[in-house]
Copies of this chain bind each other. A is one copy, B any other.
Amino acid sequence: MSLIVVGTMAFDALETPFGKVDRIIGGSATYVAWSASNFTQPIKQVSIIGGDFPQEEILRLQHRGVQFEGVEVVKDGKSFFWSGRYHMDMNTRDTLVTDLNVLSQFNPKLPASYQDCEFLMLGNLVPAVQISVINQLKKRPKLIVMDTMNFWMETALDELKQAIGMVDVLLVNDSEARQLSGEYSLVKAAAKIQAMGPQFLIIKKGEHGALLFHGREVFFAPALPLDDVYDPTGAGDTFAGGFIGHLASSKDISFENMKTAIIVGSAMASFCVEKFGPLRLQEISREDIETRIGQFVDLVNFEINLV
């Protein structure tokens, strides 16, 4: 088994109702790697960073089994930088700054050692790069999971649809599912999006949980009610990391096992939001994760004894 993770590794500046940080490690592939590495190692990372990306962060990820052969380092360049401010409801945010920096020249070449890929996680990126990575793999992975966002629906819809047609599992949030399908009902949206190619669709609803659609089957996982959500940045990527990490670990891509994977992803996301950036993900143990998953069981478990 081997898992490839494609995405950004970046710096973020974040402002939430609970505080702000000027410069913290971020990026989709960073969150996916921190999350997935709890379940499966090695992780074959594909990204691009500038010379400013801290060596100690690289070492910490390597210590977690994250391989960097597929990460291009542009010594004289600066890493991707994103800055955003969250509203009180934490579901909406304003982007303050987007400095692509080295990301503008991201054109990954997969190392030969990555060709044994069985699980491929395509983090949110320009669809052309997602397509390029799939096309570079000589043997199709067992499972391709793809994240995307509304920005590509507005600026690169044709390429986005091409990418969506090549993957097994698509991850979007509820408003993106509506935008992509033109349907308000999420059930109808899911049917239309599955007709575009993916056999599985995950619709993320933030604090309202996540839905997994597969044909006419549907599974719902709640988000854990938390005292406070400090920073939602990376929660979706962390969810994706737990999801594909569990699948890669168990090598079982059935609908039944995807339900478990969604609960694992939800548990990981519930940690992510407890501190700024990936800080909380960097300190949790296997026992913390198992305890948290137990809380999800308690949260939704019920007996039906109608009189």
Contacts and interface: CB of A to CB of B under 8 A. Distances in A.
Nearest 5 CB-CB pairings of A with B: A208-B208, A259-B302, A220-B222, A300-B300, A249-B307
8 contacts: A39-B306, A185-B229, A218-B225, A256-B302, A259-B302, A260-B303, A260-B306, A300-B300
Given A225-B218, A304-B260, A306-B246, A208 B211 contact: no
B304 A225 contact: no
B188 A227 contact: yes
State which size class the interface on A falls in: 35 or more
A166 B218 CA distance: 40
Interface of A: 39, 88-89, 184-188, 205, 208-209, 211, 217-222, 225-229, 246, 249-250, 256-257, 259-260, 262-264, 290, 293, 297-307
Contacts of A184: 88-89
Nearest to A17: B184
Contacts of A293: 304, 306
Given A208-B209, A256-B303, A306-B293, A187 B226 contact: yes
A211 B307 CA distance: 23
A199 B246 CA distance: 38
Contacts of A250: 305, 307
Nearest to A222: B220
B225 A211 contact: yes
A227 B260 contact: no
Contacts of A218: 225, 299
A36 to B, nearest CB: 13
Contact of A185 (B186, B220, B226): B226
Nearest to A90: B184
Contacts of A259: 301-303
A36 B205 CA distance: 31
A225 to B, nearest CB: 5
Nearest to A294: B304
Contacts of A302: 219, 221, 256, 259-260, 262-263
B260 A220 contact: no
Given A218-B299, A219-B299, A222-B209, A304 B188 contact: no
A20 to B, nearest CB: 18
B186 A225 contact: yes
Given A208-B208, A211-B225, A220 B187 contact: no
Given A205-B208, A302-B219, A306-B293, A187 B225 contact: yes
